[in-house]
Amino acid sequence: MPSLEATHIRNRYRVQPNDANNYETLHGGELMKWMDELGAMSAMRFAGETCVTAGVDDLSFHRPVPVGDTALIDAYVYDAGKTSVTVRLRAWREDPRTGETERTTGSSFTFVALGEEGKPVPVPELTVETDEERELREQARNAES
């Protein structure tokens, strides 16, 4: 049974002009794509199978990420069903010169594990072992984006 910590992934993406909208900030669709990709990696690490997006819950954008800053995205599995995996995703804008961060976005994505024939397959139970893992799971379950 995989632990929550084993599914924890963090990645950074430099916001370039081709990632931006008319206001020279990160396009929300581009951030959602990056979150979806990182969430799928976390889900696959947990399930040991290919995972595809089944749903997105309450994706909220709180502040923009300017061109030249970094989008820092954090993902971890906090719940599992029979064939589904729920991943908490959060994003921050990060100043690459100072490391200063500011939370920008939050959501939970649900993924379904697929076997070789493209049909849903069972996923393992999630193991939550440490106080930190329990706290992360509770934050995700009670989260407002």
Distance, CA of 47 to CA of 78 (rounded, Å): 12
Please state the pTM of the whole predicted model: 0.94
Q: What is the dihedral of CA 11, 92, 26, 60, to 10 degrees?
A: 110
Q: Which run of H or E residues covers position 95? A: none
pLDDT given for residue 144 in this prediction: 60
The pair phi, psi for residue 139, each rounded to 5°, is -60, -45
Instruction: Give residue-wise pLDDT tens across range 85-126.
Output: 999 999 999 999 999 999 999 999 999 999 999 999 999 999
Distance, CA of 108 to CA of 111 (rounded, Å): 10
Q: What does the pLDDT average to over 44-60?
A: 96
CATH number of 5-141: 3.10.129.10
Which residue in 5, 24, 4 sits closest to 16, CA to CA?
24
Q: Three-state SS for 66?
A: strand
- In the chain, where are the structural domains located? 5-141
Which two three-digit tokens encode residue 3? Answer: 């632990």
* pLDDT bucket at 40, cuts 50 / 70 / 90: very high
